[in-house]
Amino acid sequence: MTSTLNTDTRLGWIGLGSMGIGMSKNLQKYLAASGAPPLSYTNRTLSRGDGLKALGGVPYETVGGVVANSDIIFTCVSNDQVLNSVIDEVLASGSSGSLKGKIFVDSTTVHPETTISVAKKLTDAHAEFVAAPVFGASAMAEAGKLIFTLAGPESATSKLSPYLVGVMAKSIIPMGEDVSKSTLLKIAGNVIVISFMEVISEAHVLAEKTGLGSQILETMLGDMFGPVVYSYSKRITSGAYAPPIDQSAGFGVDLALKDVRHALRVASENGTTLDALEAALKHMQRAKAFADSLGGRPLDSSSMYGAIRRDAGLDFFSDAIKARDASL
């Protein structure tokens, strides 16, 4: 899947959440450096894209405006409902045949049925669709180090390569033409990531309750399991599981809950269970309920740690969080 950059191709972006903003900025930087047309973009709150505009991106008030001025359109929104709403707006904005030849690339984590439905809507309108969910949190999106799982017709995926590795991605996992397979891989990956967070959280609470201490446990995790597991541990020990009230989480608990429910539904539909994920769901739900009882505050998916702490008779907020918040 390789192609050279066509500097006449116009790109568009819909959705500037915690992932989309970093991805779109990297894409606009690449387009500007390549002499290609600037990235068109829109978002429910358009001011969210001010940083992208400063890099040369061109804002549009509507989805239809972006689509009309783009050949390849990326979507990266929060959930299935929002994605369906965006695609319906896309279809409503055009006249018969106006989408012919356009490529839509979706990086939203959704249920496979949603991916199939969206693909059909767009292909029926003579557009092409590529499912492109990504692995990596917002920091990796900012750094251009995401892993893309790509599925769709080769005629479309072949045109995307100039914009992925070295721009938004560190690598691509090709998944063939069945768009649901890409979404399924993303769901399977989330099972692993969220289950890791559950197990690591439990181990840290055990270390604190027994007097072993989190620092030595974290050293062992890094030495034995490598930088990925170590980074998950750091989300706990740094206090990132409950960011300051005025900051966003790296992987918000609401998005994680949505992803967990998708995974559990897929498992049930296929006659299997995900017990570790069930435990993670329960703990994330408790964490969110606790934060809501305090008037609400941003929580990361790793906030399950706070709920497990409370179950063990500890405060939801670690000493690291208390010290950090006291200094703000």
* Residue 129 contacts residue 118 (beta carbons within 8 Å): yes
Name residue 165's beta-bridge partners. Answer: 169
Closest CA to 19 of 29, 27, 11: 27
Name residue 252's beta-bridge partners. Answer: 300
- Name every residue whose Cβ is closer than 8 Å to that of residue 23 and which is 6 or more positions away in sequence: 13, 74, 76, 107, 134, 141, 146, 168
Torsion 47-53-55-58 (CA) sign: positive
186 is catalytic: yes
- Beta-carbon count within 10 A of 236 CB: 28
Closest CA to 42 of 100, 96, 90: 90
Whole-angstrom distance, CA of residue 152 vs CA of residue 127: 12
Q: Which of 102, 159, 186, 288 is catalytic?
A: 186
Whole-angstrom distance, CA of residue 312 vs CA of residue 283: 12
Phi/psi of residue 202, nearest 5 degrees: -60, -40
- Name every residue whose Cβ is closer than 8 Å to that of residue 272 and which is 6 or more positions away in sequence: none
Which residues are designated catalytic? 186
